[in-house]
Chain A
Amino acid sequence: MTTQSHSANVWQPTANIETLKQRAQIIQQIRQFFVSRKVLEVETPSLSQHGVTDLHLENLTAHYRGPGFASGVDLYLQTSPEFAMKRLLAAGSGCIFQLAKAFRDDEFGRQHNPEFTMLEWYRVGFDRALLMNEVADLVKTVLKVPRCDAYTYQQLFLTHLQLDVLTCSFADLTNKLQQIERADIIDLADDKTGLLQVMFAELIEPNIAADVPCFVYHFPAEQASLARLNKDDPRVAERFELYFKGIELANGFDELTNADEQLKRFEHDNVLRVHNGKAAKSIDMRLIAALNAGLPQCSGVALGVDRLIMLALGAKSIEEVIAFPLTRC
């Protein structure tokens, strides 16, 4: 970017000022939503001594040296404020919400900026269904939609691809892709879970949530992440996602509160990372200690605020709703 025409306007925001005014109003609307429901606003650090173990999430890193750490310490910019907020919950905070900056390496595109704004909240005593209702209330308020739809992960694959994700094999998936002439997708993943994720993005997401937002819940247990498993059918997890107009808007869990189980999942993540040629990550033992001390039964959700604003304003690209994206920061 050395040409005259480029350097002439690189100082300017990619979002116009009118959009930024509307953005500010939506942020106010969100705060008001939680204040009226008596949910406490909190702030947790963007920097942490530990990153995440997820196979497909990478932290950006920073380095601190000075008082406290004379020989220096590597710090991870948080991919979400989840761990710190759970430590507050274990310390007795009660219901909390946060409008946080979150950071992810290697993510930049029409719906992605490596630094973005995340709304994350936790409701003590709520189960998955109750939290989904609250997410729907917020989305109806901001996006002025009449209702949200809801389907299980299994239902959607049965309806759109005639596949039962809970019983089918990797070969069943690849056969299906050959049959519908989308064999190109097969190369994107090397196990059933990975293939289901890209099939969902390519073959299901474009066919749902066109008119009203759509919840997808009861993800297969292999995609449980930090969600507890269903009591009656442990093949599925109490996890949900919310989609609207091709945008993945929110991801929520009935939170796993068992410290041993959580530690096992983190260690399993690291096995998968190493298997995929990535470095294992140090596990945040402060979170495990908090879970050991006792996380109250709660459900929590993370919602992409920039994407919510894109949907509210009909923006085609995240750059239209943030002042200075990666290429101008």
Chain B
Amino acid sequence: MATVSTNEFRGGLKIMLDGEPCAIIENEFVKPGKGQAFNRVKIRKLISGKVLEKTFKSGESVEKAEIMDSELAYLYNDGEFWHFMNNETFEQIAADTKAIGDNQKWLVEQDTCIITLWDGNPIAVTPPNFVELEVTETDPGLKGDTAGTGGKPATLSTGAVVRVPLFIQIGEIIKVDTRSGEYVSRVK
């Protein structure tokens, strides 16, 4: 079991807490004048996504989480699992609904995603920051409106719904920021 001391704590470090892998978001060294030093740490639980604050005695060691991020291409969904492939080794990995979460609406075939593996098993999938998707449903907008004010909802081929400018029509391909879920531009 690999351990890591609080002296090595920093944002991004992955540790085990209550049997769940976690990522450190923020780490602060606290030393009350005459008291025991400790670390005040903000942590994200990688499976539940829960963010919490916790204190650790300074100098204490905790178990390191065996977390690895790998870049894999999305292949297809068989109804139960989402399949990804390493384009160099052709090794395939299947992720379940829990690991995919809300991100299934951003998965585009052949797009490279970051798959977070804990002890070799996928626990999270991060889509590319930008994806290009086809508009499958939206109200016809006013021709010639280029100001983009107000906008309207549009349903994309994956089921995602984003706000788009009024000039966007069914059948067009648009670029979306997956982190904010916002429309970026029209793809020609």
Give residues in A with beta carbon < 8 Å to B. Answer: 54, 56-57, 106-112, 184-185, 187-189, 194, 197-198, 200-202, 223, 225, 241, 248, 251
Besides A197-B35, A200-B32, A248-B32, 14 more A-B contacts (Cβ < 8 Å) are: A56-B34, A106-B37, A107-B31, A107-B37, A109-B30, A184-B55, A187-B57, A188-B55, A188-B57, A189-B35, A194-B36, A198-B38, A200-B35, A223-B34
Partner of A112, one of B29, B34, B38, B40: B29
Quick check: B34 and A197 within 8 Å, CB to CB? yes
Q: Can you spell out 14 A-B residue pairs with CB atoms less than 8 angstroms apart? A: A54-B34, A56-B36, A57-B34, A106-B37, A107-B29, A107-B37, A109-B30, A112-B29, A188-B38, A194-B36, A197-B36, A198-B32, A198-B38, A223-B34
B84 to chain A, nearest CB (A): 30
A251 to B35, CA, bound (A): 13
Partner of A110, one of B28, B32, B38, B57: B28
Quick check: B28 and A185 within 8 Å, CB to CB? no
Contact with A along B6-23 (1 / 0, CB 8 A): 000000000000000000
Partner of B36, one of A189, A223, A241, A251: A189
Partner of B29, one of A54, A108, A194: A108
Sorted nearest first, the 4 A-B pairs with minimum C-beta distance are A109-B29, A197-B35, A201-B32, A197-B32
A188 to B34, CA, bound (A): 14
B108 to chain A, nearest CB (A): 33
In the complex, what residues of B have CB within 8 A of residue A56's CB?
31, 34-37
Partner of B35, one of A107, A111, A194: A194
A309 to chain B, nearest CB (A): 19
Interface set, chain B 54-88, CB cutoff 8 A to A? 54-55, 57-59
B33 at the interface (CB under 8 A from A): yes
In the complex, what residues of A have CB within 8 A of residue B30's CB?
109, 201
Quick check: B29 and A201 within 8 Å, CB to CB? no
In the complex, what residues of A have CB within 8 A of residue B33's CB?
241, 248, 251
In the complex, what residues of B have CB within 8 A of residue A54's CB?
34
Among residues of A, the one whose C-beta sits closest to the C-beta of B53 is A184
A216 to chain B, nearest CB (A): 11
In the complex, what residues of B have CB within 8 A of residue A112's CB?
29, 31
In the complex, what residues of A have CB within 8 A of residue B36's CB?
56, 188-189, 194, 197-198
B30 to chain A, nearest CB (A): 6
Among residues of A, the one whose C-beta sits closest to the C-beta of B38 is A188
In the complex, what residues of B have CB within 8 A of residue A110's CB?
28-29
Interface set, chain B 91-142, CB cutoff 8 A to A? none
In the complex, what residues of B have CB within 8 A of residue A188's CB?
36, 38, 55, 57
Quick check: B28 and A225 within 8 Å, CB to CB? no
Among residues of B, the one whose C-beta sits closest to the C-beta of A239 is B34
A111 to B33, CA, bound (A): 12
In the complex, what residues of A have CB within 8 A of residue B28's CB?
109-110
A56 to B58, CA, bound (A): 11
In the complex, what residues of A have CB within 8 A of residue B54's CB?
184
A92 to chain B, nearest CB (A): 30
A189 to B38, CA, bound (A): 10
A293 to B40, CA, bound (A): 45
Among residues of A, the one whose C-beta sits closest to the C-beta of B27 is A109
Among residues of B, the one whose C-beta sits closest to the C-beta of A107 is B31
In the complex, what residues of A have CB within 8 A of residue B59's CB?
106
Q: A108-B29, A109-B29, A112-B29 are in contact. Are A202 and B55 (CB under 8 A)?
A: yes
A54 to B37, CA, bound (A): 13
In the complex, what residues of B have CB within 8 A of residue A225's CB?
34
Among residues of A, the one whose C-beta sits closest to the C-beta of B55 is A184
Q: A108-B29, A110-B28, A112-B29 are in contact. Are A185 and B35 (CB under 8 A)?
A: no
In the complex, what residues of B have CB within 8 A of residue A248's CB?
32-33
In the complex, what residues of B have CB within 8 A of residue A109's CB?
28-31
A202 to B55, CA, bound (A): 9
